[in-house]
Amino acid sequence: MSEPSAPRSRKDLACTAEATAYQKAFGAGLKRRVVENGESFVVAQADTPHEIFHVMDIPVISNQWWSAYISAKQLSTRYFDTMVAKGYPDNSCKYCSLGLACTLTNDPATAPWGGLPKPAVLVARLTCDCIQQVFSQWADALGTEFFPMEAPAWRHKDPAWFTHSHQQWDEVYERERIALMVKEMEALIELLERKTGRRFELAKLEKLMDRINEQEGCIAEAARLVGMARPCPVSIADQMPNTMIPQWHRGSDWAVAHARKFRDEVAERVRLGIGVATNERLRLMWIGAGVWHDPGFYQALEQKLGAVFVWSMYMPFAGPQYIRELQGRPMEALASRICSMNEVLHLPPWMNGWMVSEAQRCGIDAAIMLVPPDNRLSQSGTFITAQALEQAGVPVLKLDADMVNARSWDHATMVDMVENFLREASLA
């Protein structure tokens, strides 16, 4: 049984419709390549080196994108019920296992694309205990193999990593960790060449990384404008698609051009003094992945309280974590990005150091934090980050809910919780 449809979000930017139309067409083309034409493809976590797949022109399906796609189609409740019926624990990590749940349900009539066919390989970094179990069992269910990548610990703890990550990535992310990731990427390339017959070219990677720097620079400029402007020109309902959709295609001609178009439209709204709410009084920060099954949640209190979600991680993350001075070492520069992506988003001292700085930059009045009860990685640094924000004068509301599991979410209840929190904090 599917969950009820959630309220739709309002999109204010012309480029948002263009991005979603592009992604819809891309999804149809991807389905044609991997389902109808049987082309070799990869399923990979978002924090793996997608650039390698792009350079080799190998279709890649991100597990997080696939989970969000399933969730947006209101199928998550049914699929997770099937997992429980098959003996899996009810408290399994929902974001990472929804794709596995879809495969195990094995119902082509309801599954997007009729379900995924057999990929050449599944790729994931071992960022928490459940990843190896989920991907190993998913690979077995799909009849393919799993290529795990390490997530080694950092000895060097730098809470201000975001201030010098562009140029000093060797120092920030540690040479030994980068070297290990390069070796693993080389092994992955060898496996892909053997399985697909495609060839990897280092010169193509260097060109792609240069284009990615250009794209992320535009997104970083848009993030700077949004943090500076009063009123906020663009809510996260527009920020997320205009950041994340180009990220799935990063470095492509379309992605670079769209990032530039997005930045320019944001700049024009700032110039004209256009805000997403007519009476902006409160600037809110959203900490966590998007609630993909309820896109209208973020705009529910804009007119009633003048409460605008100004910040989410996707857009401001583009600058510090993606832009790299290549220094003639594109593989190492890429490795520095990949070997740290989840850590700086979820673990102290990187997560809390960056988010406190971002709250101050954007003039945040309060933060709403998603705490998925069954997602260990999304819980790891959240409470320390909440404490750091509160010590910096930013009150925090924690929502025990999941980004893709609608069973633990009710739109009206969650909106009321946010409203009551803001009133009790004497902000509304």
By DSSP bridging, strand 121-125 and strand 42-44 are: parallel
Report pLDDT for 405.
64
Per the DSSP assignment, residues forming a β-bridge with 124 are: 148
Q: Which of 96-105, 278-287, 403-412 has the lowest mean pLDDT?
A: 403-412
Share of residues in the chain with pLDDT > 70 (%): 94
pLDDT bracket for residue 408 (50, 70, 90): confident
Percent residues over pLDDT 90 in the chain? 70
- Of 117-126, 194-203, 301-310, 401-410, the one with minimum mean pLDDT is 401-410
Q: Can you give the pLDDT at residue 1?
A: 42
pLDDT tens, position by position, 316-372: 999 999 999 999 999 999 999 999 888 888 888 999 999 999 999 999 999 999 887
Mean pLDDT of the chain: 91
Stretch 362-387: mean pLDDT: 80
| Backbone phi, psi, residue 357, to 5° | -60, -40
State the average pLDDT over residues 276-296. Answer: 85
Burial letters 54-89, b for 16+ CB under 10 A, else e: bbbebbbbbbbbbbbbbbbebbbbbbbebbeeeebe
Give CA–CA dist 196/210, Å, rounded: 26
CA 309 from chain centre, in angstroms, equals: 17
Q: pLDDT at position 331, please?
A: 98
The reported pTM is 0.91
Averaged pLDDT for residues 212-227? 97
**pLDDT at residue 2 in the model:** 45
Question: From CA 427, how far away is CA 407, in angstroms rounded?
Answer: 30
Is the pLDDT score of 187 beyond 70? yes
Cα separation, 234 vs 275, in Å, equals: 7
* Overall average pLDDT of the 406-427 stretch: 85
The amino acid that residue 173 corresponds to is Y
Range 18-22 average pLDDT: 95
- pLDDT value at position 220? 97
Q: Quick one: pLDDT at residue 44? A: 97
pLDDT tens sequence across 251-278: 999 999 999 999 999 999 999 999 999 8
Instruction: Give mean pLDDT, residues 188-213.
Output: 98
Q: What confidence category does residue 404 fall into, taking pLDDT thresholds of 50, 70 and 90?
A: low
| pLDDT for the residue numbered 376 | 57
Ranking 1-5, 148-152, 348-352, 386-390 by mean pLDDT, the lowest is 1-5
* Residue 290 burial (C-beta neighbours within 10 Å; 0-12, 13-18, 19+): buried
Q: In three state form, how does the secondary structure of the chain look?
A: CCCCCCCCCCCCCHHHHHHHHHHHHHHHHHHHHHHHCCCCCEEECCCCCHHHHHHCCCCEEEHHHHHHHHHHCCCHHHHHHHHHHCCCCCCCCHHHHHHHHHHHHCCCCCCHHHCCCCCCEEEEECCCHHHHHHHHHHHHHHCCCEEEECCCCCCCCCCCHHHCCCCCHHHHHCHHHHHHHHHHHHHHHHHHHHHHCCCCCHHHHHHHHHHHHHHHHHHHHHHHHHHHCCCCCCCHHHHHHHHHHHHHCCCCHHHHHHHHHHHHHHHHHHHHCCCCCCCCCEEEEEECCCCCCCHHHHHCCHHHHCEEEEECCHHHHHHHHHCCCCCCCHHHHHHHHHCCHHHHHHCCCHHHHHHHHHHHHHCCCEEEEECCCCCHHHHHCHHHHHHHHHHCCCCEEEECCCCCCHHHCCHHHHHHHHHHHHHHCCCC
CB 338 within 8 A of CB 346: no
**Predicted local distance difference test score (pLDDT) of residue 299:** 84
The label of the residue with tokens 């070297």 reads 179
Per-residue pLDDT reduced to its tens digit, 72-124 = 788 888 998 998 999 988 877 777 889 999 999 999 999 999 999 999 999 99
Sheet of strand 307-311: strand arrangement: 307-311, 282-287, 366-370, 396-399
- Cβ atoms within 10 Å of 422's Cβ, excluding its own: 22
pLDDT per residue as tens digits for the range 26-60? 999 999 999 999 999 999 999 999 999 999 999 99
Q: Average pLDDT, stretch 387-400?
A: 94
d(CA 321, CA 345) in angstroms, rounded, equals 10
408's CB contacts (< 8 A; 6+ apart) are 373, 400, 401, 402
CB 95 within 8 A of CB 404: yes
